[in-house]
Structure 1
Amino acid sequence: MNYDGKIEPGHASGEHDAFAAGNPLDGDAAQDRGMRRVIVLVVVAALLLAAALWFVLHKGGADDAAAGGNAQVPVVSVVVPGRSSVAGEITATGSLAARRPMPVGSVGEGGEVREVRVDAGDWVEQGQVLAVIDRSVQTQAAASQAAQVEVAAADARIAQSNLDRGLKLVDRGFISKADIDQLTATRDAAVARVGVARASLGQLRAQNARLNIVAPASGLVLERSVELGQVVGGGTGVLFRLAKGGEMELLALLSEDELAKLSVGTEAKITPVGSGKTFIGQVWQVSPTIDATTRQGTARIALKFDPALRPGGFASAVIESGTVVAPMLPESAIQNDAKGSFVYVVDKDDRVHRRAVKTGLVTANGITITSGLAGDEKIVVRAGGFLNDGDKVKTRAAAPAAK
């Protein structure tokens, strides 16, 4: 069999045209390659997105962990107080009063007030007349008694003359010894009546002198309770009130502990309310008793006279109470509860421990600690109210207090 043959010209031309138009297999391959590229790009994008998400999630978790760790270990400010020399001062308040008030009233039989010579706020001298009482009746009575003295004196002179004549006659025998005795007794009685009359006159004059109201000592007139025309007597009451020597005092109220630190002669600075002036005084008496209700006593601080010191006014006092060497802490470091005052001390492992303390002087720079601290401890200055014994903390030095 002959397999050779002629190739149809037309057939050959058709195949040539088909190849010229493009191979279908090559088109599919190109399409596959495009798809693969798209898939690769999608996978790469997915990986990048996953990496980014992982980074964000892990970073947020680390931040949360850090935040959680910081929340569990609080940061507190601490201070090492050391020991300071503090000039002891006690601050107190109280009322001003006359140190030696003197009530003055009518000491005589009294009468109508004819003249008032002083008023509240005046300075008077000892023996000065404060008010004049009507004495017209008493003056007449004294004049009458003066006349009685003259009558008695005249009777005494007559009796003495009779006795003298009798003594001359008794030697001649004209009168007896008994008559002389009678004349002597008459003379003695007349002389005695003169003494009685003079004593009565002196009494009346003394009573008249006591009618006027006078100052028993030099001082400042604090009150006047009498007016012109008023009838006064022994039971009228206080007509004037004086401050002896003008001296004032502050009745400072203090606690038992504060009173125990004071002694007579301690210096104090007094500032009356509404006055910019400060007066220097001295404690002259410390109350020997304590009020059972308020648990307070009184320190009496003597002050010299000054018009700015008004009895009944209110004033503050700063009293010296010696020098104290002790640790000093700001008020924020000291906590209080039913068991008393305490602070938080940070140990070497940065854990806080409660320690009971006793407070002392309160100053502008802080509060002294009289017992419970040596001064070389780390003390929590702030946030102590949020801590518990044994808590772990992070410490940082507290900023120095502004002065």
Structure 2
Amino acid sequence: MPIRLSGIGVVQPWQTVTVRSRGDGQLLAVGFQEGDVVQQGQLLAQLDDRAPQAQLAQAIAQQRRSQVQLDNARQDLKRYTELARHGAIERQVLDAQQAQVAVLQATVQADQAQVQAAQVQVDDARITAPLTGRTGALLVDVGNQVRAADAQGLVVINQVDPVAVSFTVPDTAYDQVRAALATPSAAEIPVQVRAQGQPRLLGQGALVLVDNQIDDSSATLRLKARLDNPDLALWPGQTVDVRLILGEHAGALVVPDAAVQRGADGLFVYVVGADDRVRLQPVRVALSQDGRSLISQGVAAGDRVVVDGQYRLKPGALVAEIRDAEAPADAPPAVPPAAVQGAEADQAAAGRAASPAS
């Protein structure tokens, strides 16, 4: 029987990005339709880049001019070096030419930086997708002026395959989670996500985050799971039921929940003995889930317990299993019913006896 924690979770994109312009300019074209899946690097928008292109051309021209000056200064330095070796010029002239070459080298480097800065502005006019994901609504129409300072951006991209599910569990569950994470055989802790209030399974994944603190205002611990979502059964913002599987109870002894009754002295079940008479048997329930109760004390494997009609029973009542009308007489019932017959029939319960405790 699985050991699990249940909680309410919210589906979140695995990654989300608000696409903004890094430069100013008029929005000339858009390269996607709202709701499209876009690939990383795909062109999303094109801004007017005439001004950045002109600045780039100017910077390239300035760099070439400085490079020509540097080449000429280097040729002069070679000649001055040769003349200085024969004592035809003063040392001071040679030193001045060496300084001139160093100055022009620095100028060329500065011009190269200007070229790179202008190229960045040109590139910024092409806005591309930073990740693969699904686009939302276009927030700026073509023809509008776009500025880097705009807070809303152009579009929001959400990565929906895979997705994340954020959920909380009581802070008292932290020790269980920590113990499961510390288990050497547990490469990952499975997580199941189901439609809220329904048994329908929407996806399975693994735990990827245990928050670094417990929320003291709600006494809960926030966890996050990662799930593959190829069929898009999970959508950002969706509320879901989450089950965290921490391990399993090996060889668990379970009975249907309906067999467990609550009395003045605690929990009990009606056990049908070999003589077909029932007795009231106190039990201890370790946990209950999926319609089954794990019994830690009180019954043994193979015991027959009553699952329906207990309100008409009392200890010592004689019962007999009743088969379904449409089933052959020699066919074992799927859920064997029970009824009281004989001398105590007037006190007895017509009801169903569960299959043996397993």
TM category (shorter chain) comes to 0.5 to 0.7
Tell me the SS of whatever aligns to 1:305. coil
Q: Paired residue for 1:251?
A: 166
Can you list the C-alpha shifts for 1:300-332, whole angstroms capped at 9, x where unaligned? 242243344322234455665535434433334
SS at match of 1:300: strand
Answer yes or no: is 1:158 the counterpart of 2:72: yes
- 8 Å CA contact 1:284, 1:302 repeated in 2: no
* Superposition pairs of residues 174-185 of structure 1, within 5 angstroms: 174-185=88-99
8 A contact 1:343–1:380 mirrored in 2: no
Question: Offset at 1:270?
Answer: 4.4
In structure 2, C-alpha distance between the alignment counterparts of 1:338 and 1:179, rounded to whole Å? 112
1:170 to partner: Cα distance: 3.8
Secondary structure at 2:161's aligned position in 1? coil
Instruction: Select 1:305's aligned residue among 220, 230, 233.
Output: 230
SS of equivalent to 2:208 = strand
SS at match of 1:152: helix
SS of match in other structure, 2:251: strand
CA separation of 1:245 and 1:93: change in aligned 2, threshold 3 A: closer
Distance 1:277 1:306, change over 3 A: farther
- Alignment of 1:205 with 2:119, yes or no, is yes
Number of aligned positions between the proteins: 309
Deviation string for 1:74-119 (max 9, x for gaps)? xxxxxxxxxxxx466776653322223344333x233332222124
Structure 2 partner of 1:260? 176
Verify: 1:114 aligned to 2:25, yes or no.
no
Contact 2:166/2:222, CA 8 A, preserved across alignment: no
Q: Indicate the percent of aligned positions where both proteins have the same amino acid.
A: 19
Q: 1:367 aligns to what?
A: 293
Root-mean-square deviation (CA, aligned residues, Å) is 4.4
Shift of 1:162: 3.1
C-alpha separation in 2, matches of 1:136 and 1:327? 77
Give the AA of the match of 1:188: A
CA contact (8 A) 2:9 2:167 kept: yes
Structure with bigger strand share is 2
> What displacement does 1:259 show?
9.1
Q: Encode CA deviations 1:53-80: one digit per residue, 9 max, x unaligned.
A: xxxxxxxxxxxxxxxxxxxxxxxxxxxx
Residues 227-256 of structure 1: CA deviation (Å, up to 9, x unaligned): 322423145255443345831133355555
Aligned residue type for 2:45: A
Shift in alpha-carbon separation, 1:225–1:305, aligned structure 2, 3 A: farther
The 2-side partners of 1:196 and 1:152 are apart by 10
| TM-score, structure 2 as length reference | 0.66
TM-score by length of 1: 0.60
Asked if residue 132 in structure 1 is aligned to residue 132 in structure 2, the reply is: no
Alignment of 1:142-153 (within 5 A): 142-153=56-67
Partner of 1:328: 254
Tell me the secondary structure at the aligned position of residue 99 of structure 1. Answer: strand
Specify the code of the residue in structure 2 equivalent to 1:396: V
Q: Map residues 4-403 of structure 1 onto 2, 5 A cutoff.
A: 86=1, 94-106=9-21, 108-170=22-84, 173-221=87-135, 224-228=138-142, 229-234=144-149, 236-244=151-159, 246-252=161-167, 254=169, 260=176, 265-267=188-190, 270-271=193-194, 280-285=203-208, 287-288=210-211, 293=218, 295=220, 297-298=222-223, 300-316=225-241, 321-335=247-261, 342-343=267-268, 355=282, 357-364=284-291, 366-369=292-295, 371-375=296-300, 381=307, 394=317, 396=319, 398=338, 399-400=352-353
State which structure, 1 or 2, has the greater radius of gyration over its C-alpha atoms: 1
1:248 touches 1:305 (CA, 8 Å); kept in 2?
no
Matching residue's letter, 2:146: V
Q: Indicate the structure with greater helix content.
A: 1
Cα pair distance change 1:337/1:150, threshold 3 Å:
farther
Letter in 2 for 1:360: L
Please report how far the alpha carbon of residue 177 of structure 1 lies from its aligned counterpart in structure 2 after TM superposition.
1.7
* CA 342–277 in structure 1, closer or farther in 2 if over 3 Å, else same: closer
Q: How has the CA–CA distance of structure 1 residues 299 and 282 changed in structure 2, closer, same or farther, with 3 Å as cutoff?
A: same
In 2 relative to 1, CA 296–328 (structure 1 residues): closer, same or farther, beyond 3 Å? farther
Cα distance change, pair 356–224 in 1 and its aligned pair in 2 (3 A): farther
Letter in structure 2 aligned against 1:214: T
Q: Report if aligned partners of 2:194, 2:203 keep a CA contact under 8 Å in 1.
A: no
Q: Report deviation, 1:386.
A: 9.6
Is the Cα contact below 8 Å between 1:218 and 1:245 reproduced in 2? no
CA deviation digits over 1:184-215, x for unaligned, max 9? 22222123212211121112212332343222
Contact 1:345 1:352 in 2 (8 A): yes
